[in-house]
Each structure stands twice: as structure tokens, then as C-alpha cells.
Structure 1
Amino acid sequence: MVKQQLIMEKALELFAKQGFEATSVQQITEHCGISKGAFYLSFKSKDELILALIDHFMIQVISDIDYTVKNTNSDELLYDFYFATFTSFHKHADFAKILIKEQMHSFNEELLSKMHYYDKLNEQVILSMIERLYGEEIQPIKYDLIYCIKGFMSTYSQLFLFFNVPLDLNLLAQSLVEKTNLLARHTTIPFISEDLIKMFKQPTNEEVTKEQIIELLEQKIEEIEELVEKESLILLKQHLLEPDLSPVIVRGLLENIRNHPHCKWISYVLRSYFHF
């Protein structure tokens, strides 16, 4: 067995019993029957080991689901998606349990960032699936549907992860297909808009450059027809290029665009950029 794989498997046994925080590198090396030096040849730290385990687990789950979505005909797609999801969770149940417990009380930014990354990959897979299944029919409610499907995945997986209940995965998949179809075909009040999704994806202020904001402004200026909002966007763009407006005027311009359905994202970005 490759040493790195041995360390990951043995560490997983300890993490399952004690959690991430309570397990030390010393305990891991003793459980593996190796020296600390051998451990550090494979992993720089315990945190790096944990992230490697997350990568291993999430890549397995995401790749299983993604393969199913890309290689199943539409008639069976939703059923196969749910069946593959819960089969994968069941297959990797030991680490799935640890991960769910740790996320509930973890303040480790790397761990949370890593899980956020895989969560976004999962959303992309779900989005491609529902667009194939329902087409234009679900455009207004597609993000709500994504979150409902993610909720099904999370909630129902806990039944066999934490309660040791014997489950019929075939029946579970059939049941969730019915629920998802009902939501897709009868939901009429969307909550999660395109702009709200963009806010969720908002990068840090340091990552948003003036050039990127100007590009966003130019796009919105082309899209918006309302005179007040369009003029406000033009003035905000000019202020970014040559700052000459007072903070009070800038705030007023931002108020002009804040409630426009197509300006919520750019308003949010500008407020962060100007530290308002």
C-alpha cells in the first residue's frame, strides 16, 4: 500500500472516532506504525491531510454524479442522478459523517473554502441536469430548484448516515423524482434571482478590480432603458475613471439604481468598492 494512502485510511479511522481537532499527528503516526518524519514526507501538516481527504471524498462523489448526468438519457436522468448520489454517499459514509459533523462547528477557513468550491461544482452539475430536463420552462425558478435538490440530497442522506435506518435507495430515488418534478412544474414564485446568486458568489474587495467594475457598468448601460438608472450608471462609470463626485452624490446615484432588478449586483459591487 502506498504510504500516503495508508496514512489517509488510518487517519480516517481516528477522525471517525475523535474528530479532526482532537486527533494529533502523533496519534496518526502511531496508528499507522510510521515515524513523524515519514508522515511529513507525505503531508506538510494535519490540515493538509484533512484537505487531501476532502478532495478524495468530494472528487469521488462529484465525479460519480457528473458521469451519471452526462451519460444518462433524459427519461431516466433524474432517477439515476438521485440513485447515484445516495449510492455514492453510502459508499463513502464514514467520511461523509465526519465532514457533516465538522462543518457544523468548524471555523477553519480552508476547510470551509474547500467545501464551498465543491458545492459550486455540484450546483453546476445540477444546473446542467435541470436545464436538460426542463429547458426554458424552469428558467425563472432554476436557482430555487437547485437549492431544493441540494436540500433533498443533504437531508435524506442523513437518514442512513446518522440513524442506521435500512433504506430502499430505489424507492428513495423514485420518491425524490416525483417531488422534484412537482416543484419544477408547479412552482410559480421564485425567490433566488440571478442577482442574488451573484451576491452569493461575490469575491473579496481585493479581487474586484476597477477594470472589472467598469466592464460590468458598460454592460448594464447597454441593457438598461430607464433614463434615471442609465444616467446614474454613466455618471458612476465616469466617477470611476475620473473621481470628481462627492460621497453624497455617489450615494444618491447608487440609490437610483439599487432597486432596479438588473442593477442589484452592480449596486452591491459598487457599494463594496466605495466602502459604503
Structure 2
Amino acid sequence: MIKKQLIMEKALELFAKQGFEATTVQQITEYCGISKGAFYLSFKSKDELILALIDHHMMQFTSDIDYIVRKTNNENLLYEFYYAAFHSFHQHSDFAKILMKEQTQTFNEELIKKMHYYDRQTEKIILSMIERFYGEEIKQTKYDLMYCIKGFINTYSHLFLFYNVPLNLNLLSESLVEKTNLLARHTKLPFISEELIQVIKQPMTEEDSKEKILENIQKKIEEMEESIEKESLQLLKQQLLEPTLSPAIVKGLIENIQNHPHCKWTSYLLQSYYGF
């Protein structure tokens, strides 16, 4: 196992028992069976480790639901979205439980910025889904509907995390599809207007920038063995630096990497950057 991955997995176990604040670097290194020097070769501080955990879990969640929204036909889109969202959430429930508890106790500025960033990515995915699924039917109420869907995900996730409600993914997804359809087809009075969205809309963050995407791609290239995915990443990097390829070829290269377990987030960033 890669040392960085080992540290993240073992630290997560300690954070689950003790919380972020009570867990020290010394405890993490002892639990991992490594020296402090080995820890600091992977992470500059405990805060950097916590942010890396947030990135890891939120990248997986965001890229999972984005993949479903992009690849599912309209007839099953809403059901598959809810199923994928709660299935992914369930897979990362240990970390989600820690994060929800810690956010009520800590006001780490970087942590809050991270969560806001991933929250905006989720909003973009939901909005693209409902625009495609309902079309003109929800033109005036789409932002209200997007926030209602986010509310469903947050509220029902709390039930599973803190009240041990049995998770029946099929029943839950069907139930939320029914509720969402009722809201979409019968809500007439919007609260959140286009103008209000422009006021609260955040500018592009560092994670969205071309430089950050290039950094992400280079890291993946260095980590991967020779393969069609690595070759595709090299061509995509060159395209960002010196655009020469047609949109169809770029889209094909992104499709080459999107199913690779270590390239999901890279694929998501590139699809968002190019508007695919």
C-alpha cells in the first residue's frame, strides 16, 4: 500500500474515534507504525491531511454522480441520480459522519472553503440534470428545485448516518423521484431568481483553473504505468498547453480516462472546463 494512502486510511480510523482536534500527529504515526519524518514527507501538517481526506471523498462523490448524469438516458435519469448519490454517500459514510460532526465544532477557513467548492460542483450537476430532464417545464423554478433536491440528499443522509435507519436504495430513490416530480410539475411560485443566483454565485476557484487541471494531469501521468489512459492524459495535457485537436477528439480522450479509478476527478474537471 502507498504510504500516503496508508496514512489517510489509518488517520480516518483515529478521527472516527477521537475527532479532528483531539487526534495528534504523534498518535497517527504510532497507529501507522511510521516515523514523524515519514508522515511529513507525505503531509506538511495534520490540517493538510484532513484537507486531503476531504478532497479524496468529495472527488469520488462528485465524479460518481456526474458520471451518472452524463451517461444515463432521460427516462431513468432522476432515479439513477438518487440511487448513485446515496450509494456513493453510503460508501463514504464513515468520513461523512466525522465531517458533519466536526463542522459544528470547528471553523477552519480552509475546510469551509473546500466544502463550499464541492457544494457548488454538486449544484452544477443537479442543475444540468433537471434542465435536461424537465426542460422548459421548470424554467422559472429550476433553482428552487435544485435546492430542494440538495435538501433531500442532506436530510435523508442524516437519517442514515445518525439514526441508523435501514438503507433501501431502491425504495428511497423511487420515493424521492415521486417527490421531485410533484415539486417540478406543481410549483409555480419561485423564490430564487436568476438575479439572486448571480448575486450569490461564486467566481471560478483555483481548482477550476487551467493551471490546476494541468497540475492534476501531470500528477496522474507520473503515478500511472504505460497505458491508453496515460497516453490520453499526455495528449490532453498537450491540448491544454497548445490547442490543436478537434472537440470530438478531446471528448474521446476524456472518455478514455473517465472509467479509470484514479482519473475520475480529472475527467470531471476536463469535462467542466471544455463544457461537455
TM-score computed with the length of structure 1 as normaliser: 0.72
Task: For residues 188-246 of structure 1, give each alpha carbon's deviation from its aligned partner in whole angstroms, at most 9, with x where no partner exists.
Answer: 1111112222222356xxxxxxxxxxxxxxxxxxxxxxxxxxxxxxxxxxxxxxxxxxx
Partner of 1:194: 194
Structure 2 unaligned segments of length 5 or more: list them: 204-276
Partner of 2:89: 89
> Which secondary structure does the structure 2 equivalent of 1:22 belong to?
coil
Partner of 1:236: none
Partner of 1:165: 165
Letter matched to residue 133 of structure 1: F
Task: For residues 114-145 of structure 1, give each alpha carbon's deviation from its aligned partner in whole angstroms, at most 9, with x where no partner exists.
Answer: 00000000000001100001111111111101
Letter matched to residue 62 of structure 1: T
Partner of 1:76: 76
Give the 4+ runs in structure 1 shifted more than 4 A: none
Return the alpha-carbon distance in structure 1 between the equivalents of residues 15 and 30 of structure 2: 14
Partner of 2:260: none
Letter matched to residue 117 of structure 1: Y
Return the alpha-carbon distance in structure 1 between the equivalents of residues 39 and 86 of structure 2: 33
Partner of 1:11: 11
**Rg larger for:** 1
- CA offset at residue 163 of structure 1? 1.6
Return the alpha-carbon distance in structure 2 between the equivalents of residues 88 and 137 of structure 1: 29
Task: For residues 37-94 of structure 1, give each alpha carbon's deviation from its aligned partner in whole angstroms, at most 9, with x where no partner exists.
Answer: 1000000011110010000000110111001001100010000000000001111110
Partner of 1:63: 63
Partner of 1:271: none
> Which secondary structure does the structure 2 equivalent of 1:10 belong to?
helix
Return the alpha-carbon distance in structure 2 between the equivalents of residues 104 and 179 of structure 1: 29
Return the alpha-carbon distance in structure 2 between the equivalents of residues 191 and 104 of structure 1: 28
Return the alpha-carbon distance in structure 1 between the equivalents of residues 148 and 196 of structure 2: 16
Letter matched to residue 60 of structure 1: Q
Listed as ranges, the matches of 1:1-276 within 5 Å are 1-201=1-201
Return the alpha-carbon distance in structure 1 between the equivalents of residues 139 and 25 of structure 2: 49
Task: For residues 147-178 of structure 1, give each alpha carbon's deviation from its aligned partner in whole angstroms, at most 9, with x where no partner exists.
Answer: 00000000001121112222211000000000
Q: Give the percent of matched residue pairs that are identical in Structure 1 and Structure 2.
A: 76
Return the alpha-carbon distance in structure 2 between the equivalents of residues 185 and 105 of structure 1: 40
Taking only aligned residues, the RMSD between alpha carbons, in angstroms, comes to 1.0
Return the alpha-carbon distance in structure 1 between the equivalents of residues 195 and 14 of structure 2: 43
Partner of 1:237: none
